Amino acid sequence: MKNTKYVLFALTAFCICMIGITTINSSLLNPVRNAVGYVLVPIQRGVNAVGNGIYNETVNVGKLRGALEENAALKKQVAELTEENVRLRSEQFELERLRTLYELDSQYMQYNKVGARIIAKDSGNWYSVFRINKGADDGIAVDMNVIADGGLVGIVTDVGRNYATVRSIIDDASEVSAMAQQSGDICIVSGDLQLFREGRLTLGYMEKDDDIKDGDMIVTSNISGKFLPGILIGYASDITVDYNDNLTKSGYLIPAAQFDRLQEVLVITDLKNTGTDGQ
């Protein structure tokens, strides 16, 4: 108790002295203020730095979250635009193919035709045998000629109610009675899948004196038993006289149709009713 009284008395005296000193001359407290400043200013700076760091970090986190949300929105927009672009390109390609079919339809206006889409094909890179989505219910019959992409594609070999099978002119089993459009000289276009790897078919059964030369347009002949006359098949190439008998010549045909990208075709619904056999 005595010590407490002494301490209280000392603190009271100190306070009275400090009041008196500040009343007389406040400059006497400058050393005390400076000492306190040396201690408090660094602490205050540290507190401010920590506060600013926390604030900046909070702002950066907010900006990062906003950037991530914006990035996600942009990715979604890019995906939608990409999908739209693919759709538009697909529609453009389809329009170009249909325009080609329309032009082909105009070239053979003398024949009645039905448009069809290819729904299946044999394995391999080319459409040697394929199936279309039109059949007997649509007026399709066996031996109807099929055209697409600038020229003759093949002939219908089998028909169901809602489908039909087409054997193309590149198939090994195909033979087409043809002629040079300019001269009318007869020849035979034979399918050959192995040879078609080079983009060609066999052109043969030509007499040595026949006027068939490189670049001539080869069309279906008038004497064909199944193919309607005057349909473009392709173009003659590398016509030479056969060395074994010097009486015949042969060569190759470059088909007008592209047999690696067929999608739509036109089926000519008129049949060649000649009563003759063969192609």
CATH number of the domain that residue 176 is part of = 2.40.10.340
Identify the residue with better confidence: 213 or 247: 213
pLDDT at 169: 97
Written as one letter, the residue type at 146 is V
| 70, 92, 107 - which closes a domain | 107
Average pLDDT, the chain: 82
Please state, in angstroms and rounded to a whole number, the distance separating the CA atoms of residues 159 and 237: 35
Number of domains within the chain: 2
DSSP structure class, residue 164: E
Predicted confidence (pLDDT) at residue 50 exceeds the cutoff of 60: yes
pLDDT at 8: 67
**pLDDT mean over 11-28:** 62
Same domain, 103 and 14: yes
pLDDT in tens, 140-175: 999 999 999 889 999 999 999 999 999 999 999 999
| 107, 133, 163 - which closes a domain | 107
Give me the DSSP letters along 31-54.
Answer: HHHHHHHHHHHHHHHHHHHHHHHH
pLDDT in tens, 189-215: 999 999 999 999 999 999 999 999 999
pTM above threshold 0.75 = no
Predicted confidence (pLDDT) at residue 276 exceeds the cutoff of 50: no
Task: Say which residue the tokens 């983009």 belong to.
Answer: 199
Same domain, 8 and 89: yes
- Asked if the structure places residue 277 within a domain, the reply is no
pLDDT at 79: 75
| Residue 141 contacts residue 156 (beta carbons within 8 Å) | yes
pLDDT at 168: 96
Same domain, 198 and 89: no
Please state, in angstroms and rounded to a whole number, the distance separating the CA atoms of residues 203 and 190: 7
| Max Cα distance, the chain (Å) | 148
> Which tokens belong to 18?
């400090």
**pLDDT mean over 218-238:** 95
Same domain, 72 and 127: no
- Domain range spanning residue 146? 113-268
- Asked if the structure places residue 207 within a domain, the reply is yes
Q: What is the dihedral of CA 74, 76, 82, 85, to 10 degrees?
A: -90
pLDDT at 1: 56
Share of the chain above pLDDT 90, in %: 50
